[in-house]
Each structure stands twice: as C-alpha cells, then as structure tokens.
Chains A and B, each alone.
Chain A
Amino acid sequence: MAAPESGDGNNGAARMVTLISSDNTRFEVEAAAASLSQTLQLTILDGGGGGGDGIPLPNVDSATLSKVLEYCIKHAPAAANGGAPNATAVDRAELERFDNEFVNIDQSVLYSLIMAAHNLEIEGLQSLVAKKVADMIKGKSPMEIRRTLGFPDPTPEEQAEMNAHMLEYGWAYE
C-alpha cells in the first residue's frame, strides 16, 4: 500500500494533496502526511486530491483539520520509516513529548479530534486521544466522570437504574 507513496515522494518534490474542510477552507499537505489516514490513503492512491479539485471532508471543520494535520505532519516521517527500526531514542522521546503536549487541550477540541481521527481512520491519533480521555476518567467517581465529560445530570429514572446496578459494582469502591 505504502509503496506507491514513497515512490511518489522520491520523484523530486513530494506530492501534495488538497483537503477541503467542512467550512470550505483548503489545506495543502504532503500526500505522505495525509496518508496516515487510511480513508484518505485510498483516495490518494486512486489519484484523488491532486491539482485543483481537493478532497472534501464534510465532517471535519477547519480548526479540527489543522490540528489533525499538525499531528500527521509530525508523525509522517516516523510512519514512513515503518516506525521503530530507524528511529533513535531521541526521536521517539521528541514524538512522545509532542504527543503529550498535543492532547493538552480543551475538551471540546478533544472531542472533535477523536471524531475526526475515527472518521479519517488515523489509528495513532485515535489511540492518543482515547488514552487522554481514559486518563481523564481514571480515579474518578461516576458523578465526577459525568461532570468531567460534561454529561447532564441523570434523570431520576436513570439514577434509579444505576442504583440498581450498584450491588453488582460494589467492588469498584474503596
């Protein structure tokens, strides 16, 4: 799958593709970076996205897309090398530092990021954000989790149901 990509990359200038966000902002990125997205990779392999016609991404807004692309550009070289073998420890540490800072963001952004990562099938980004959300959930009580994730207060009905489950999950409390 990746072979044609690197082939393109070696022929002089790297191939660029245009992505169009839901609010009609155009982003031009290297095909290698965009190919981190499984979904886009297929389109790009197909020859889409080059020249004037971009690839419309009707469910990603420009703010999210720029964030996603920031991640892709940073991670593209490592992915092109096939990950670990060539990467030095320094490179990996640098990526890790970047990742940590990258997810240190507002919750609503986090939400649109994970949705975008899911839709675009960017494995790394999806697990990165998922990890972050998981960390937010850890060590909290159900009510705290509700507040953290911004859920509305439970309806009395739902509350009663949850109370009924309490016995089952008594061990979750210390």
Chain B
Amino acid sequence: MSWWRRRRRFVEWRRRRRTLGCPAAALSPPQPPLGAGDGPDRGAVFAAASFAAPSHRPATGVEEPGQHLLSQQRKKVFPNRDKECSFCVLERQIARLLRTEAGALESPGKIIRCLPLFAEHFRWGRQEDAHEFLRYIVDACHTAGLRIRKRLAAASANGNCGEEEGRGQGSCMVMKETFGGALLSQVKCLVCKGESNKTDEIMDLSLDLPGSSSVGDALARFFKPEILEGANKYSCERCKKLTSARKQMFILRAPKVLVIQLKRFEGINGGKINRNIEFKEALVLSDFIYKKNQLWLCYGGYHPSNTAIKHSPNMLYDSVSSELRSSGWVDDVYNFMRAGKRRRIQNTDTPQDIDAMRQFRGLVASSRTETRECELSASLSLSPPPRRVPTSPTLLSCSSLLQIRSAPPPPMAEDPVGSRRWKCDPGGDERWLSGAAGDDHFDRLPDALLLVIFNRIGDVKALGRCSLVSRRFHELVPLVDSVLVRVDCVIPDEPPSSSSPPEPSSPTASVRARGVFSQIARVVLGGIVKPIQALGQILSPASSSSGSSSSSSASSSLLPGDVSHHSPSEVLRSFKELRRLRIELPSGELGVDDGVMLKWKADFGSTLGSCVILGASSASPSSGGSDAGATAPSVHTVPGEPEDDSGNIPESFYTTNEGLKLRVLWTISSLIAAAARHYLLQPIIADHTMLESLDLTDADGQGVLTMDKWQLQELRVKPVSASGASHRTLMPELSIQLWYASRIQLPGGLVLNGATLVAIKPSEETTRDIVGDGITETAWVTDAFEEPYRSAVTILLRQRTYTLEMNSF
C-alpha cells in the first residue's frame, strides 16, 4: 500500500473517531481475551489498558500497528527493534493480547524475555510491585521516546527530515502526554490573601488509605485544605510575620490517564490494609482542579455553561499489589476497559454522565449527514449492547488481596426499541435519586443545577451568604459566572479639584457636578458590619466562645456601627469564573434638578467606543406639564409625524443659558462620568480574565456603561491611558451629532421639553461609520435606551442633525 493511501486511511480513521467525540467508543477490537497474565505482563496490560481506553491520539498501535507515527523513526533509532525498543515490545504485546481469541491464554513470554529493557533488576519468578513495574514501563517508553526525538532533532539539523518525521517529533513525548499531569501546592495567607504556589509534575497519584473506605474519599482527603494555625503558623512573606494560612493541593493539569496508587501500608510498622476499598466508576475531579473552569469527570468532561466536550482523563485504578503472580488482575484491567467502554454507551447514571451523553448524542446527530460510515459507527455506539452485561460485578473479581469493590449497577430499564436514545436514569448514585426520603432535597441537586440556581441569584451579597451555607455551596459559589454588585455608597478619594467641569453659571442651570467626576475612585460596598461576630451568632450559637482567637479579638475591636468598606474588586475576588458582571451604583453621578431628565449610555473598549445621551430640560408625565423649566416655545411634535419646521432650532437655543451651553454641559458631564466609571473598572477587568460582559449602571437609571467581550479583550491588550492626573480615561477626539426638538410627546404620555439627543463617536471611527443618517448607521443610537425613550430617540433622529467636533480631553 502506498504511503499516500495509508495516510488517507489513517486520516479517515482518525476523523471518524473525532466525529464520535469519544475515541474509545469506536475502538472496538474483537472481544478482548481474558489473557491470564503472568508476572510482569500485568504491568504491560496495565499500560495497554491505559493507552487503549482514553487515548486521543491513535492508540499505540493497538489497532493499526503499522500506522503508528513513531514506527518509521523507531526503525532508524533501534535497528534491532524487536529486542531493543520498549515501544515495539509493548506495542506487539498489546496487539497480541487484543487479537487473541476470547478465552485463549496469552503468555507474556516476549515481555519477560525483554524484561531488562524495562527494569534491569526485575527477575523472572520473583515477587515484584505492579505499580513499580508500570512506572518502569512508562519510564522505559519515555526514554525510548526521548532517544527517538534526539535522533529526529539531529536529522532535522542535517536537513534530511521528511514531513512525517517532523510531525513525529511531537509524539515522542506520548508517555508524558498520556500520564503526565501537574499538581499545584498552594499556601494562601488568610490575612493578606497572598498566595504561594508550587507546581509538581506527576505521573501518578499515591493516596493514603487510613481513614478512607473509598477512592473518592481518599482523593478528597488528599486535596482537602489544611488550615495552618496555632503552633503551625505560616510565615507569610508579604505580611512579614506568622499568620494563619490555608494549605491545599490542586490539580493544575489533569493527565489524560490518571493512575492512582492506593498505599496499602499503614503507619511505620508496615501493617497492611486488607479491607475493601470502594470506588465509583466515575470519579469527579472537578472539585480538585485549580482554576475550576472545567468540570472534570472521568468519563466525558462536562462544563456547565460551555458545552464543549473537554477531553476526559480516564481513570485506571491501580492497587499496590505485590503479588505479581496472582492471576485475575489482568482480567480486571480488561474488564475495566470493557466495562468502561460499555458504560459510556449504555450506562449513564449521574447527571453529569447524562450531560456528556447528550453532548455525545448531539455530536452524533450533527454528524449524521456526513458519511455513511459515521452513521454506522454512530448507531453502533448508541444502540444498547445486544444483551445486558453486568458491568460492575465483573469488577468484583479483583485481585486476591485488595478487593476493589464497586457499587452495584443501577437497575436499568430494559428498553424497548422506542427508547433507543433515551438514557437518563439517574440511579446509581443515590445522591441524585429524586424522591428519596429526607428533607434536604436541594442538597442533592447536581452541581450543574445548583450553579444554574446560583447564577440566577445575581446579587453578590446573597451569593456571599450562600457560600457560607455549606461546604458544597462554598465550593460552588465561586464558580458562578453571573453576578450583580449593588454598591452602597461611593467614597470620594480626594477633595474635589479644580479639574471638575465648569459650574453652570446660572442657578437655574440643571446640571451640577456632585464632585464625583474625578474623585469617584473608590466605590465601596459597605454596611454596618461586625462580620465575625454576627456570623458566629448565626452559624454557631453554641460554640461562639470556641471561635479562634483572631476572630474574637477582631470582633471585639469592631465597634457597633463601625462601617467596613469593601471595594467591588475585593468582593469579587473569590469569583474566579465571572463572565457577566453588573455593577449598580447607588445613584447617578450627575446631580440634576427636578424635572430635568438626563440619560446616557456609553460603551468602552480601551477608550470610548460610542456614547448616546438623551436629555430634556423637563420631563413631565402629563401633556399639560410644560412648567417653568421649559423656556423654549412648546412646539408640539406628535410621534410619527414631526413638525413641518422640524429641525429649525429656535433662537433661544443658541442664545440662552438653557440652550446650547446647557447641552454641551450635559454632554461633557456625561462623558466625564462615563470615563470615570470606565477607569474604575480596570482592576476588576484585570482580575477576571474570563469576563465577557460588563455593565456599570446606577439605581437612578441615569447612566449605563457597557463593555462586551471584544471590548474587554481590547482593554486587556491595550491599556487605558488616563486623562492627566485625574482618575478617568482619556477621551479621544470626538465627533458629536446633536438633535433637538422643543417638545416631544411620547406614547406613554410622557412629554419631553427641550429634548436633546447627542450621539458621540471617536472621530476616526466616525469618518468610517456615520456618514449619513441611514438606518444602519443609527441603529446603535436607537437601541441605546429602552421604551419609552427609544421612541423619543426615533423621533429626534428625524430632526435636523448638527455636528460638532471635540478635542481629546
């Protein structure tokens, strides 16, 4: 077969797998033989299983040995590859095992003959450690990979490197890519919140068993946070003193295949743990992942808000079985592989599994039209297996010493044909079983659903309280992606300076700066807080005296009525997954006199993107309300049919204080308020890298500042330039369009006198965008406000347009 045809076959085969989204499902060797492995074969089988079950790349020659990327290079590096290349030895062993007829025995003789290749000191017939052997195999293959890579590098340096070789270079690290992961050991000072992080590369996890009866339990203990206090205090570098701190391990990067070693020895005396250790077939890793932006599951990754399938680290459980010879172990691995494979197809028992299943199904559905082959394999993997296979019980026949026991399978409905794709039995883990006795229904909701609920809460204070409800809530609340912060008060950072905009010259002028334009640098969330005491009373009525010394001293030092201030960025710090953020200020920054209406909406990237301002010297609910504030002649403009002399701005507009000057003042004030808000947001944006939309509004509905995903992105790339020394963003050169109508009656009965609409864009953009006043160009103006102001904007847009330019400020 020519290289090209082989390559095409390979590509097609890989594509087929990818469309299924679940590589192992397509991987269907003949019924795996129950090769009663002897000696070191178990390690080999173990590695085989590890590769066959999860691999994203074509499994190491399990199906098509000749196609493996490395095979060409291996030949060059190891001329006598049958005996020298650990890859080849392993590969052939795996291939043999998978191809042997069911029930036949496969002697691991070939592996044993090459034993020194893997582990020099291992001797045939002697008792060795299985886990150790697996490590040796992985290590040997990795070393072989490195040798090949070195050779490739030399070849490419000589310039005689083919395309295939160049590509092969990456796959030399296959062992590390498959088993390698990273742990993060973090110490977080509870005083300054400073973090000290250390990363460790891992090839497997060794779990202590004492006190745990299941793998999940042992895993949870391993990753459990530890509070360093008392005699064990942490010397914080930032605080320069001993402080209490939280020490915790996280999974920084989950390996594709996670190998878990259960340490069966107890204490230093070397007692052995012989009790049963339980494990679930799906193990949720998401709780332990640092940066919890992915929910990891053993089978099928799942993310609550993002419906992409992440690659899933499959699990293989390893027991430290020193009995290399005890038979049955190999069967277990095989059964595990088989069970795992079927499980994906047949058995969906946690809601997460259902979700993975749904996505899987979605993928299949979308690939329906592609090729016949796709459909074939799709139906192959979706239809239930011909007979019901007791999945978990096969696992019960485990190694002689360590009984790894799995929960019995959930009762599956024997499906008629009609329900071929209907899999949502939440059985299995009784945690999810609805209708079970007990009142704590909501504690049994799956994480994904709780997150849906939390996302609906919005209010940050309610979320903060939620996170103190229970351990689980505390873990989940920081994953919330949509938050509303209501700011209680705004504290000016510095006294009003002369840089504030010019005060209106006449007392009747409607806009007055409240001295916040340049000083609104600290927006705080405050309250009369005695946090610790208050909480202590709420949460632990009985044990208030047993609170830690630091808390009691803190609470005593807080006087009643003391106000502690928290900036939004401080409050939001724990929400690492924020996507949508809304901050609401207590009131608009611009003090306006009664009757005057002023609204603005601006969007920002690194600087102003656009701004729309709608103002009226008086807005009265009834049609008769043309009070003293309106000096302009009341020219009625009925919605839908503008006046004949539309656009003829009355003289007074130019001459009086109420006229143009006031409009310009409105414009500048709004722009400065917007710029100040924008400036404020920087630290929050920097803290939350996943943010997709950000709104800063006020309770008065005066101003709205929005930033969308791209604008946030722009800000991160291109930092804000401040305007002089003040705390606001520098405005670029602006091009302003202005519309005026002396009187507008809105559908809701609202009458706007002296209504003015201002649309602002940076000059450089304007030359491209707003040339005329066509529909497309004005869409952003029209959409700026909600009804009834939307119709006001529509009416105003029909008036004559005045344009002016403004310098950068």
B351-373 interface (Cβ within 8 A of A) = 351, 354, 358, 361, 365
Contact check, B440 vs A152: say whether CB atoms are below 8 A apart: yes
Given contacts A112-B435, A163-B540, A171-B566, contact A150 B440 (CB under 8 A): yes
User: What does the 1/0 interface line of A132-155 toward B look like (CB < 8 Å)?
Assistant: 011001111111011001111010
Q: How far, in angstroms, from A5 to B415 measured CA to CA in the complex?
A: 25
Given contacts A53-B418, A126-B452, A174-B461, contact A162 B426 (CB under 8 A): no
**B235 within 8 Å of A by Cβ?**
no
Chain B residue at smallest Cβ distance from A113 = B434
Contact check, A137 vs B462: say whether CB atoms are below 8 A apart: yes
Which candidate, B22-30, B497-505, B528-536, is the interface stretch facing chain A?
Answer: B528-536
Contact check, B465 vs A141: say whether CB atoms are below 8 A apart: yes
Q: Which residues of B contact A139 (CB under 8 A)?
A: 462
Contact check, A151 vs B457: say whether CB atoms are below 8 A apart: no
> What is the CB-to-nearest-CB distance from B530 to chain A, in angstroms, rounded to a whole number?
8
Say which residue of B427, B449, B474 sits within 8 Å of A114 (CB atoms). Answer: B449
Q: Which residues of B contact A162 (CB under 8 A)?
A: 468-471, 474, 539
**B721 within 8 Å of A by Cβ?**
no
Q: Which residues of A contact B540 (CB under 8 A)?
A: 159, 163
Chain A residue at smallest Cβ distance from B424 = A119
Contact check, B539 vs A119: say whether CB atoms are below 8 A apart: no
Contact check, B538 vs A141: say whether CB atoms are below 8 A apart: yes
Chain A residue at smallest Cβ distance from B567 = A171
Q: Which residues of A contact B554 (CB under 8 A)?
A: 167
> What is the CB-to-nearest-CB distance from A115 to chain B, in angstroms, rounded to a whole number?
5
Contact check, A145 vs B465: say whether CB atoms are below 8 A apart: yes
User: What does the 1/0 interface line of B446-473 toward A look like (CB < 8 Å)?
Assistant: 1011001111111111111111111100
Given contacts A142-B466, A172-B464, contact A42 B457 (CB under 8 A): no
Number of interface residues of A (CB under 8 A): 64
Contact check, B365 vs A42: say whether CB atoms are below 8 A apart: yes
B405-442 interface (Cβ within 8 A of A) = 413, 415-422, 424-427, 432, 434-435, 439-442
Given contacts A127-B456, A170-B529, contact A43 B442 (CB under 8 A): no
Contact check, B456 vs A163: say whether CB atoms are below 8 A apart: no
Chain B residue at smallest Cβ distance from A53 = B418
Which candidate, A7-15, A56-64, A95-103, is the interface stretch facing chain B?
Answer: A56-64
**B564 within 8 Å of A by Cβ?**
yes
Contact check, B471 vs A173: say whether CB atoms are below 8 A apart: no
**B652 within 8 Å of A by Cβ?**
no
Chain B residue at smallest Cβ distance from A172 = B464
**B251 within 8 Å of A by Cβ?**
no
Q: Which residues of A contact B463 (CB under 8 A)?
A: 172
Contact check, A151 vs B440: say whether CB atoms are below 8 A apart: yes
Q: How far, in angstroms, from A174 to B564 measured CA to CA in the complex?
A: 10
Say which residue of B416, B419, B551 sits within 8 Å of A167 (CB atoms). Answer: B551
A66-115 interface (Cβ within 8 A of B) = 107-108, 111-112, 114-115
Contact check, A131 vs B456: say whether CB atoms are below 8 A apart: yes
Q: Which residues of A contact B418 (CB under 8 A)?
A: 43, 48-49, 53-55
Say which residue of B361, B441, B454, B471 sits within 8 Å of A150 (CB atoms). Answer: B441
Number of interface residues of B (CB under 8 A): 78
Contact check, B467 vs A165: say whether CB atoms are below 8 A apart: yes
Given contacts A137-B462, A170-B532, contact A151 B470 (CB under 8 A): yes
Given contacts A39-B422, A143-B539, contact A169 B465 (CB under 8 A): yes
**B190 within 8 Å of A by Cβ?**
yes
Q: Which residues of A contact B574 (CB under 8 A)?
A: 168-169
**A4 within 8 Å of B by Cβ?**
no
Q: How far, in angstroms, from A54 to B443 measured CA to CA in the complex?
A: 32
Contact check, B468 vs A169: say whether CB atoms are below 8 A apart: yes
Q: Which residues of A contact B415 (CB under 8 A)?
A: 56
The winner among B448, B471, B554, B566 for most chain A CB atoms within 10 A is B471
Q: Which residues of B contact A165 (CB under 8 A)?
A: 467-468, 474
Q: How far, in angstroms, from A159 to B446 measured CA to CA in the complex?
A: 22
Given contacts A112-B434, A165-B468, A171-B461, contact A48 B456 (CB under 8 A): no
Say which residue of A55, A156, A173 sits within 8 Å of B527 (CB atoms). Answer: A173
Q: Which residues of A contact B448 (CB under 8 A)?
A: 118
Contact check, B543 vs A159: say whether CB atoms are below 8 A apart: yes
Contact check, A159 vs B539: say whether CB atoms are below 8 A apart: yes
Contact check, B465 vs A172: say whether CB atoms are below 8 A apart: yes
Contact check, A138 vs B529: say whether CB atoms are below 8 A apart: no
Q: Which residues of A contact B309 (CB under 8 A)?
A: none
Q: Which residues of B contact A114 (CB under 8 A)?
A: 445, 449, 453
Given contacts A127-B456, A165-B474, contact A154 B462 (CB under 8 A): no
Contact check, B535 vs A166: say whether CB atoms are below 8 A apart: yes
Q: How far, in angstroms, from A49 to B442 measured CA to CA in the complex?
A: 32
Q: Which residues of B contact A107 (CB under 8 A)?
A: 441-442
Contact check, B227 vs A166: say whether CB atoms are below 8 A apart: no
Contact check, A142 vs B469: say whether CB atoms are below 8 A apart: yes
Chain A residue at smallest Cβ distance from B410 = A58
Contact check, A149 vs B440: say whether CB atoms are below 8 A apart: yes
Q: How far, in angstroms, from A54 to B529 measured CA to CA in the complex?
A: 58
**B747 within 8 Å of A by Cβ?**
no
Contact check, B426 vs A59: say whether CB atoms are below 8 A apart: yes
User: What does the 1/0 interface line of A27-56 toward B look like (CB < 8 Å)?
Assistant: 000000000001100110010110001111
> What is the CB-to-nearest-CB distance from A68 to chain B, in angstroms, rounded to a whole number?
13
Given contacts A56-B415, A154-B539, A170-B531, contact A39 B462 (CB under 8 A): no
Q: How far, in angstroms, from A162 to B358 measured CA to CA in the complex?
A: 36
Q: Which residues of B contact A121 (CB under 8 A)?
A: 358
**B547 within 8 Å of A by Cβ?**
yes
> What is the CB-to-nearest-CB distance from A160 to chain B, in angstroms, rounded to a whole number?
8
Chain A residue at smallest Cβ distance from B568 = A171
Given contacts A55-B418, A58-B425, A151-B469, contact A173 B462 (CB under 8 A): no
New A-B contacts (14) at CB < 8 Å, excluding given A145-B466, A162-B470, A165-B468: A39-B358, A48-B418, A49-B418, A53-B417, A59-B434, A114-B445, A127-B452, A159-B543, A163-B540, A164-B246, A166-B531, A167-B190, A171-B531, A174-B488
A-B contact pairs, 22 of them (CB 8 A): A59-B427, A108-B441, A114-B445, A118-B449, A119-B424, A134-B453, A134-B454, A134-B458, A139-B462, A140-B462, A145-B465, A149-B440, A149-B442, A151-B443, A154-B470, A161-B471, A161-B474, A164-B246, A165-B474, A167-B551, A173-B465, A174-B528
9 A-B pairs with least C-beta separation: A172-B464, A170-B531, A174-B527, A150-B439, A134-B456, A111-B441, A171-B566, A149-B442, A142-B468
